[in-house]
């Protein structure tokens, strides 16, 4: 029998709901992004985000059911992101999920936001194990070893800023708008790697660090301006992005070799980065690694990825009660 899961994601600034069939088919997805509002402030304002979730959540649900041409009777279970994320934002999705589960008497499946990002890959191609997942988003930079479905072993992570966060902060210093990742990616293509920036945490660990690189960009810009020189934004974007990519590719390949793994998936908002995709394509071809990344529309936050992950959690018997709590931080499991 087919499993139709109605999934809800509201951990940051996207109100999203989706219906996913058997963990891999996107029956319908609705994403209401608040990005243009937060762009006015240069980043996500938590209080505004929660208020906007409240305003849009029921509209998103109506739109989803219409789009899917399904009724609540057709739905097997309700899945929801319980963390990590902004508490006020998470609470809106959580309350909607609990209400639907209670009224329609459906099982409630709790999903970790990062599990969702990882399983976005399952919507393109069934994930093959064992695998290494490189999760690169606005809040996370992690290397995760997965022996099988829903088994997550963190083998490395950022010691300070997440990579997407570094992109957004560097973009702000360069007077570019929010979110900075896609803009820097585009500018990097037009520029040249002429600035002398350090490769972050160039050591033998599986950890990352991006705050030093971010500070190096800021210092370089200030120093050049004090000398009366104009910094070339495209060249600086290119130099910054190249250092980020060097760090990500080097550590990821090392992890694949150390764990004797042939399958790599990339996930999270930064997995939309064209420069990163090109570099990973090349290095994976050279090393005989099967590489997969999500479709662009599933890279940034969406409920489809939560629906994909929840199918495997559901099959493992994971259920939540109506007292499920929103968590600002929580371990991936
Ligand atoms: O996964 P996501 O939507 O939210 C979190 O869970 O954090 O990721 C958002 C992040 C932002 O920092 C944004 O700048 C970054 O992903 N991003 C990119 C690109 N597209 C989005 N970073 C680099 N290159 C891109 N093309
Ligand atoms: Zn995310």
Mean pLDDT by 10 residues, the chain (333 residues): 97 96 98 92 90 96 96 97 97 98 98 98 97 96 98 97 96 93 97 95 96 96 94 97 98 97 97 98 98 96 98 98 97 93
**Are 18 and 151 part of one and the same domain?**
no
The residue nearest atom 21 of ligand 1, judged by CA position, is 269
pLDDT at 39: 87
**Are 136 and 60 part of one and the same domain?**
no
**Are 142 and 276 part of one and the same domain?**
yes
Distance 107 CA to ligand 2 centre (A): 24
**Are 302 and 274 part of one and the same domain?**
no
82 near 294, Cβ under 8 Å?
Answer: no
Range(s) of the domain holding residue 12: 4-119+298-315
**Are 149 and 76 part of one and the same domain?**
no
**Are 227 and 311 part of one and the same domain?**
no
**Are 86 and 155 part of one and the same domain?**
no
pLDDT at 41: 87
- Asked if residue 81 has its Cβ within 6 Å of ligand 1, the reply is no
**Are 104 and 157 part of one and the same domain?**
no
Distance 270 CA to ligand 1 centre (A): 4
* Ligand 1 atom having least distance to the Cα of 138: 7
Q: Are strands 141-146 and 290-292 parallel, antiparallel or unpaired?
A: unpaired
pLDDT at 97: 98
Does residue 266 come out as left (phi exceeding 0), alpha (psi in the -120 to 50 range) or beta?
Answer: beta
pLDDT at 141: 97
Q: How far apart are CA 309 and CA 305, in angstroms?
A: 6
Q: Is residue 204 part of a domain?
A: yes
**Are 69 and 99 part of one and the same domain?**
yes
Distance 179 CA to ligand 2 centre (A): 13
**Are 235 and 288 part of one and the same domain?**
yes
**Are 149 and 101 part of one and the same domain?**
no
Q: Which helix (H) or strand (E) holds 182?
A: helix 180-190
pLDDT at 142: 97
**Are 165 and 38 part of one and the same domain?**
no
Q: Is residue 322 part of a domain?
A: no
Would you give the DSSP letter of residue 205?
A: S
- The answer to pTM > 0.85 is yes
Q: Is residue 324 part of a domain?
A: no
The tally of domains found in the chain comes to: 2
90 near 83, Cβ under 8 Å?
Answer: yes
pLDDT at 42: 83
What CATH number should be reported for the domain holding residue 244? 3.30.420.40
Q: Is 81 helix (H, G, I), strand (E, B) or coil?
A: strand
Q: Quote helix, strand, coil % in the chain, to nearest 5.
A: 45, 20, 35
């Amino acid at each position: 029998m087919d499993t139709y899961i109605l999934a809800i994601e509201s951990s940051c600034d996207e109100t999203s709901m989706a219906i996913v069939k058997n963990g891999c088919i996107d029956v319908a997805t609705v994403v209401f992004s608040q990005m243009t509002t937060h762009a006015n402030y240069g980043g996500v304002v938590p209080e505004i985000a929660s208020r906007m979730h409240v305003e849009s959540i029921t509209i998103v649900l109506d739109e989803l059911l219409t789009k899917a041409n399904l009724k609540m009777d057709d739905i097997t279970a309700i899945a929801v992101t319980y963390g990590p994320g902004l508490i006020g934002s998470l609470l809106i999705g959580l309350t909607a999920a609990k209400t639907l589960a209670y009224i329609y008497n459906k099982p409630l499946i709790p999903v970790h936001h990062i599990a969702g990002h990882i399983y976005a890959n399952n919507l393109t191609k069934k994930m093959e194990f064992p695998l290494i997942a490189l999760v690169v988003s606005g809040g996370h930079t992690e290397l995760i070893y997965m022996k099988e479905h829903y088994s997550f072993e963190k083998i490395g992570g950022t010691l300070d800023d997440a990579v997407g966060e570094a992109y957004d902060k560097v973009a702000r210093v360069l007077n570019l708008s929010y979110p900075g990742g896609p803009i820097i990616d585009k500018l990097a293509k037009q520029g040249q790697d002429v600035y002398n920036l350090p490769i972050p945490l160039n050591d033998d660990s599986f950890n990352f660090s991006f705050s030093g690189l971010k500070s190096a960009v800021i210092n370089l810009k200030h120093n050049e301006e004090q000398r009366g020189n104009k910094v070339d934004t495209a060249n600086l974007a290119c130099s910054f992005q190249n250092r980020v990519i060097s760090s990500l590719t080097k550590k990821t390949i090392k992890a694949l070799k150390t764990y004797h793994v042939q399958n790599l998936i990339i996930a999270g908002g930064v997995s939309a980065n064209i420069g990163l995709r090109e570099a990973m394509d090349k290095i994976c071809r050279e090393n005989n690694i099967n590489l997969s990344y999500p479709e662009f529309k599933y890279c940034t936050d969406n409920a489809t990825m939560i629906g994909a992950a929840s199918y495997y959690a559901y099959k493992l018997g994971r259920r939540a009660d109506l007292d499920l709590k929103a968590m600002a931080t929580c371990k991936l499991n």
